[in-house]
Amino acid sequence: MDRRAVGTAAESVAREHLCARGLTLVCENYRCRGGELDLVLVDGDVLVIAEVRLRASARYGGACESIDWIKRRRILHATEHLRLRHPQLRRLRVRFDVVAFDAATPGDGRVQWIKGAFDACER
Protein backbone atom coordinates (compact mmCIF):
# COMPACT_ATOMS: atom_id res chain seq x y z
CA MET A 1 0.00 0.00 0.00
CA ASP A 2 1.41 3.42 -0.90
CA ARG A 3 1.66 6.32 1.59
CA ARG A 4 -1.44 8.10 0.34
CA ALA A 5 -3.57 4.96 0.61
CA VAL A 6 -2.27 4.29 4.13
CA GLY A 7 -3.04 7.90 5.13
CA THR A 8 -6.54 7.67 3.69
CA ALA A 9 -7.10 4.40 5.56
CA ALA A 10 -5.90 6.01 8.81
CA GLU A 11 -8.29 8.93 8.36
CA SER A 12 -11.14 6.51 7.67
CA VAL A 13 -10.42 4.48 10.82
CA ALA A 14 -10.11 7.70 12.85
CA ARG A 15 -13.42 9.01 11.48
CA GLU A 16 -15.19 5.75 12.32
CA HIS A 17 -13.61 5.71 15.79
CA LEU A 18 -14.76 9.26 16.62
CA CYS A 19 -18.23 8.91 15.10
CA ALA A 20 -18.76 5.65 17.03
CA ARG A 21 -18.14 7.68 20.18
CA GLY A 22 -20.90 10.16 19.41
CA LEU A 23 -19.13 12.89 17.45
CA THR A 24 -20.79 14.18 14.28
CA LEU A 25 -18.71 14.66 11.15
CA VAL A 26 -18.86 18.15 9.60
CA CYS A 27 -16.24 17.69 6.89
CA GLU A 28 -13.01 15.93 5.98
CA ASN A 29 -9.79 17.23 4.47
CA TYR A 30 -10.77 20.91 4.63
CA ARG A 31 -8.12 22.82 2.70
CA CYS A 32 -7.27 26.46 2.44
CA ARG A 33 -4.18 28.28 1.31
CA GLY A 34 -2.49 28.15 4.72
CA GLY A 35 -3.30 24.64 5.90
CA GLU A 36 -5.50 21.58 6.03
CA LEU A 37 -7.81 20.00 8.58
CA ASP A 38 -8.04 16.21 8.51
CA LEU A 39 -11.37 15.82 10.33
CA VAL A 40 -13.84 18.45 11.51
CA LEU A 41 -16.49 17.17 13.90
CA VAL A 42 -18.97 18.41 16.48
CA ASP A 43 -19.07 17.04 20.02
CA GLY A 44 -22.09 18.67 21.69
CA ASP A 45 -21.30 22.39 21.74
CA VAL A 46 -17.63 21.88 20.79
CA LEU A 47 -16.09 22.07 17.34
CA VAL A 48 -13.45 19.32 17.24
CA ILE A 49 -10.53 19.67 14.88
CA ALA A 50 -8.92 16.23 14.72
CA GLU A 51 -5.44 15.79 13.32
CA VAL A 52 -4.75 12.21 12.21
CA ARG A 53 -1.15 11.07 12.55
CA LEU A 54 0.40 7.78 11.57
CA ARG A 55 3.91 6.55 12.21
CA ALA A 56 5.10 3.18 10.98
CA SER A 57 8.04 3.31 13.39
CA ALA A 58 8.90 5.12 16.62
CA ARG A 59 12.42 5.65 15.33
CA TYR A 60 11.95 9.43 15.10
CA GLY A 61 9.32 9.72 17.83
CA GLY A 62 5.70 8.68 17.92
CA ALA A 63 2.82 10.03 15.89
CA CYS A 64 1.91 12.65 18.50
CA GLU A 65 5.44 14.01 18.69
CA SER A 66 5.36 14.68 14.96
CA ILE A 67 3.01 17.67 15.41
CA ASP A 68 5.40 20.58 15.76
CA TRP A 69 4.62 24.28 16.19
CA ILE A 70 4.60 24.83 12.42
CA LYS A 71 1.93 22.15 11.93
CA ARG A 72 -0.09 23.54 14.85
CA ARG A 73 0.08 27.02 13.31
CA ARG A 74 -1.23 25.66 9.99
CA ILE A 75 -4.07 23.88 11.77
CA LEU A 76 -4.97 27.08 13.63
CA HIS A 77 -4.94 29.07 10.39
CA ALA A 78 -7.17 26.56 8.61
CA THR A 79 -9.54 26.53 11.59
CA GLU A 80 -9.86 30.32 11.48
CA HIS A 81 -10.52 30.13 7.74
CA LEU A 82 -13.19 27.44 8.23
CA ARG A 83 -14.98 29.47 10.92
CA LEU A 84 -14.92 32.61 8.75
CA ARG A 85 -16.50 30.74 5.85
CA HIS A 86 -19.08 28.96 8.03
CA PRO A 87 -20.52 31.44 10.55
CA GLN A 88 -22.67 28.76 12.24
CA LEU A 89 -19.44 27.20 13.55
CA ARG A 90 -18.34 30.42 15.29
CA ARG A 91 -20.71 29.88 18.22
CA LEU A 92 -18.94 26.63 19.15
CA ARG A 93 -15.92 26.34 21.40
CA VAL A 94 -12.94 24.74 19.65
CA ARG A 95 -10.94 21.73 20.77
CA PHE A 96 -7.89 20.36 18.98
CA ASP A 97 -7.60 16.57 19.20
CA VAL A 98 -5.10 14.10 17.82
CA VAL A 99 -5.92 10.61 16.65
CA ALA A 100 -2.64 8.75 16.48
CA PHE A 101 -1.61 5.40 15.10
CA ASP A 102 1.85 4.17 16.02
CA ALA A 103 1.76 1.11 13.79
CA ALA A 104 2.29 0.29 10.14
CA THR A 105 -1.39 -0.44 9.57
CA PRO A 106 -4.09 1.85 10.97
CA GLY A 107 -6.74 -0.84 11.22
CA ASP A 108 -4.95 -2.96 13.81
CA GLY A 109 -6.96 -1.54 16.72
CA ARG A 110 -4.27 0.67 18.26
CA VAL A 111 -6.04 4.01 18.11
CA GLN A 112 -4.84 6.70 20.50
CA TRP A 113 -7.35 9.55 20.80
CA ILE A 114 -5.97 12.55 22.66
CA LYS A 115 -8.65 15.10 23.47
CA GLY A 116 -7.36 18.65 23.75
CA ALA A 117 -3.90 17.65 22.57
CA PHE A 118 -2.98 21.30 22.07
CA ASP A 119 -4.76 24.62 22.22
CA ALA A 120 -4.77 27.88 20.30
CA CYS A 121 -2.36 29.51 22.78
CA GLU A 122 0.51 27.09 22.13
CA ARG A 123 3.27 28.31 19.85
Give the predicted TM-score (pTM) of the model.
Answer: 0.86
Instruction: Name which CATH class applies to 3-118.
Output: alpha beta
For residue 100, is pLDDT > 70?
A: yes
pLDDT score, position 68:
82
Tens digit of each residue's pLDDT (9 = 90 or more) over 27-86: 999 999 989 999 999 999 999 999 998 866 555 555 566 678 899 999 999 999 999 999
DSSP the chain: --HHHHHHHHHHHHHHHHHHTT-EEEEEEEEETTEEEEEEEEETTEEEEEEEEE-S-SBTB-TGGG--HHHHHHHHHHHHHHHHH-GGGTTSEEEEEEEEE-SSSGGGS--EEEEEEE-TT--
Q: Are 100 and 58 in contact (CB under 8 A)?
A: no
Domain ranges of the chain: 3-118
